[in-house]
Structure 1
Amino acid sequence: MYQETKLTLQATQPRRVLTLFLLTVPLVCLGCSRGGDDIKLAPVSGVVTMDGKPLTNAIVIFSPQKGNPSSGRTDSSGNYTLTYRDQLKGAVPGSHGITIITAPPESPRQSEDSGVAEVIPVDTFANSDQGVPKLKLPKDTFKKDPIPERYNSKSELKKEVVEGKNKFDFELQSK
Structure 2
Amino acid sequence: MREIDRNAGRYRTMIRETIFMKCLHGAQGLAIVLAITSLMVGCNRGPEIASVEGTITMDGEPLVDATVIFTPVGGGRPAAARTDEQGHYVLNFSGGRKGAQPGDYIVRVTTAQDPYEDEEGNPVPARRETIPMEYNQESTLKFTVEAKKKNIANFDLKSGGKVVDDASGY
TM-score band, normalised by shorter chain = 0.5 to 0.7
User: Does structure 2 retain, via aligned residues, the 8 Å contact 1:46–1:169?
Assistant: yes
Which residue of the partner structure matches residue 86 of structure 2? 77
Structure 1 runs, 4 residues or longer, greater than 3 Å off: 103-109
Query: Which protein has greater RCO, CA pairs closer than 8 Å, 6+ apart?
Result: 1
Among 60, 74, 77, the residue aligned to 2:68: 60
Which residue of the partner structure matches residue 167 of structure 1? 152
State the SS of the aligned residue for 2:134: helix
Q: Deviations over 1:46-91 (max 9, x none)?
A: 0000011000000111011232100000000000000002221100
| CA distance in 2: counterparts of 1:80 and 1:107, whole angstroms | 23
- The answer for unaligned runs of 5 or more in structure 1 is 1-34, 110-135
> Which one has the bigger helix percentage?
1
Q: % of aligned pairs identical? A: 39
Which residue of the partner structure matches residue 115 of structure 1? none
- The answer for unaligned runs of 5 or more in structure 2 is 1-42, 161-170
Aligned pairs (5 A) from 1:43-122? 43-64=51-72, 65-102=74-111, 104=113
- The alignment's TM-score, normalised by the length of structure 1, stands at 0.58
State the SS of the aligned residue for 1:85: coil
RMSD of the alignment, in Å? 2.5
Larger radius of gyration: 2
1:152 is aligned to 2:136:
yes
* Cα 1:147/1:36, change in 2 over 3 Å: farther
User: Does structure 1 retain, via aligned residues, the 8 Å contact 2:102–2:144?
Assistant: yes
Q: Amino acid of the residue matched to residue 154 of structure 2?
A: D
| CA distance in 2: counterparts of 1:153 and 1:137, whole angstroms | 24
Q: When the two structures are aligned, how many residues end up with a matched partner?
A: 113
State the SS of the aligned residue for 1:60: strand
User: Does structure 2 retain, via aligned residues, the 8 Å contact 1:46–1:80?
Assistant: yes
| CA distance in 2: counterparts of 1:36 and 1:82, whole angstroms | 21
* Cα 1:85/1:40, change in 2 over 3 Å: same
